[in-house]
Amino acid sequence: MKVVIVGGVAGGMSAATRLRRLNESAEIIVLEKGPYVSFANCGLPYYVAGEIEERNDLLVQTPEALQARFELDIRPYSEAVAIDTKQKEVAVRTIEGEYKLSYDKLILSPGAKPFIPSAKGLEEAKNIFTLRSVPDVDAITAFIEEENPKKAVIIGAGFIGLEMAESLVHRGLDVTIIEKAPQVLPPLDEEMAVYITKELNANGIELHTGAAAESFEEEGKVIVLDNGERLESDITLMSVGVKPETNLALTAGIETGLSGGILVNEQYETSQKDIYAVGDAIVVKQQINGEDTMIALASPANRQGRQVADVISGLPRKNKGSIGTAIVRVFNQTAASTGLNERQLKQANEKYEIVHIQGKSHAGYYPNAGTILLKLLFNPLNGKIYGAQAVGEDGVDKRIDIIATAIKAGMSVHELPELEFTYAPPYGSAKDPVNMAGYAALNIIEGVSDSIQWHELEARQEEGYLLLDVRNENELVNNGRLKGAMNIPLDQLRERLSEVPKHQPIIVSCHSGLRSYIAERILKQKGYKVKNLDGAFALYSTVRPEKVEK
C-alpha cells in the first residue's frame, strides 16, 4: 500500500507515524510545501517573548529523524498543486520542477491559513506579519531585531492575538489591540471576557473593541480605523482568524461545506474515493449539538490523524466530532472554555440555564490560593452540560479539562457533585469548584433556587424587585455597594425579617453568591418571593463598575 500525505505538523504527522506502527510494509510519503514538517506552532508566541529560548526547541522532528525511526519519506519544499482522481496521482511542485506522484490512499492535512481582510493600502504595507509557521516567526523576530520597533498593533483579540500581545510587551513594545467584536476573546461570553480586558489594561495595553482597520497609510506605519481614529504602528500582526486551505481539494472536485471546509464522513473519507482529510481544513460535528463547525485546534487534529490511520489500516474508528476546548494565558490571568457559549446557544434556540461559581485554586487557608470564576451552561430540563468557561490565576485548566471530559463522557450536571478529585491543601479543595457548580445547577433544576443573571438586574429592579445585599457593613465600606440596594447582613437576617417588605419580590446578593443563596432559602421558607443574583457583587461590579457606589 502506498499512502501519500499532504501536509505535516499535527494531523499529517500523527497519521504518518501511526500508519507506520500499524503497517511496516507500507510506503508512506509526506509532502510539505514549507521547510518544516513537524514543529510546535502553538509555541511560536512564546519564542517571540523569549520564554522558549532556543529556536530548535520549536522543531519537534526532522526529516532525518523521521526516516531513521519510522522509515518515512519526508519531502519538504514539495507542494501538492493538483490531484487527478482517475489516475490517482498528485502533481507535486518543487524548486527543481514538477512531477507526478501516484497513490493508493491519499490523506489531505493542508491545515488553515490566516484570514487577511481586504483594506486599502494593505498590499503596500511593509510591516505586517501573520503567525502560523516557523518562517513566520523567523520573519517577525528578524524584523524586531533589525528595525527595533517601538509600537505594535495587533489586529484581532483571539487566542494568538492575545498571546502575541503579551509576548511583544515582554519584548518592550507598546502594544495596541484592535478587535472588531465588542469584546476580547469572542469564544468567551461577555462577562468572562471582562476579566481578561482588565488584565490587558493593567499591563498597559491599549484596546479598541468594536473597531476594525479600514486602511493602511505610509506603508503600514499608520492604521486608520473605521471610526476615524488613526494609530501609529511600527509592526502589525494580523490575527483575525483562519480559513481552511482547500485549494488542492477543489482541484479534485472534493465537496466542501461550512466556511469552505472539506466535508468528510465518520471515517474521514471525502467525496472522492480513497482520499481522506483531517485537521484544521475539515468540517467537523460539534459533538454537543451535532451541528457543522470548524475547530482549528491541535488536539483534535492529532486525534484525527491517528484515527484516519486506523481507518486505513482496517480498525473500527469513527470521527465522533469535537467540542472545542481551548485555553490562553494573558499575563497573570488564564481563560479557558469548552463546548458552547451563550451566543451559540441563543442562536440555536436552546433552552439553558447558567451558574457562576467563585472558588479557589486550592484550599483557601493554604497560602497563595487564587480565585477562579467558573461559568457552567446546562439544560434545566435534563441537566445536559452545554459548556463551561473559567478565568483565574491558577487551576483554570484543571476545571475546564474536568468539565470537557464530563461532556465527552455524556455526563450531566447531576454527576458533577459525584466526581472525586485528589485533595490536599496545596492542590485543591474538599469541595472543588466543579462539585459546587454541580450543586448549584441541581438547585436550579430541582427548584431549590431561582437565579437571575447580571444583565437582568436593572430590568428586574425597574419591575419592582427590591435588591437585598446581605454582605457585612465593612464589605460595603471597603468594596462599595450596588445602587438602590437595601443592606441586612446575613447573620442578622432572621432577626430583622420585619424590615424586609413581604409584598415586594426580592433579589438577594452577597459577594460571590453563597451567602445570598442561604438568604434566599431563609426568605423563601418565610413566604417571600426571592431570586438570587448569580455571581453576586463580585461579578456584577466587574462587568458594571459604574453601578457601584463607593
CA triplet 288, 409, 10: central angle to 5 degrees? 75
Partnered with residue 215 across adjacent β-strands are 120, 224
Distance CA 239, CA 518 (A): 46
Helix (H, G, I), strand (E, B) or coil at 213: strand
Alpha carbon distances (Å) from 339 to 288, 378, 395, 412:
7, 11, 19, 13
CA atoms within 13 A on the CB side of 320: 10
**Beta strands 530-533 and 506-509, pairing class:** parallel
- The answer to whether 152 and 173 are in contact (CB under 8 A) is yes
Give me 23's grid cell: 503497517
Q: Which parts of 420-512 fold into alpha helices (H)?
A: 433-445, 457-463, 473-479
Q: Please provide the distance, in angstroms rounded to a whole number, between the alpha carbons at the two ends of the chain.
A: 74
Distance CA 541, CA 543 (A): 6
CA triplet 332, 338, 344: central angle to 5 degrees? 115
Q: Which of 42, 91, 116, 518 is catalytic?
A: 42
Q: Which residue type, as a one-letter code, is found at position 271?
A: S
Distance CA 392, CA 375 (A): 12
Q: Which residue type, as a one-letter code, is found at position 170?
A: H
Residue 348: count of CB within 10 angstroms of its CB? 14
3-state secondary structure 26-40: CEEEEECCCCCCCEC
**Beta strands 213-217 and 222-225, pairing class:** antiparallel
CA triplet 446, 451, 452: central angle to 5 degrees? 150
Q: In the annotation, is 42 catalytic?
A: yes
- The answer to whether 38 and 66 are in contact (CB under 8 A) is yes
User: Would you please indicate which residues are annotated as catalytic (active-site) residues?
Assistant: 42
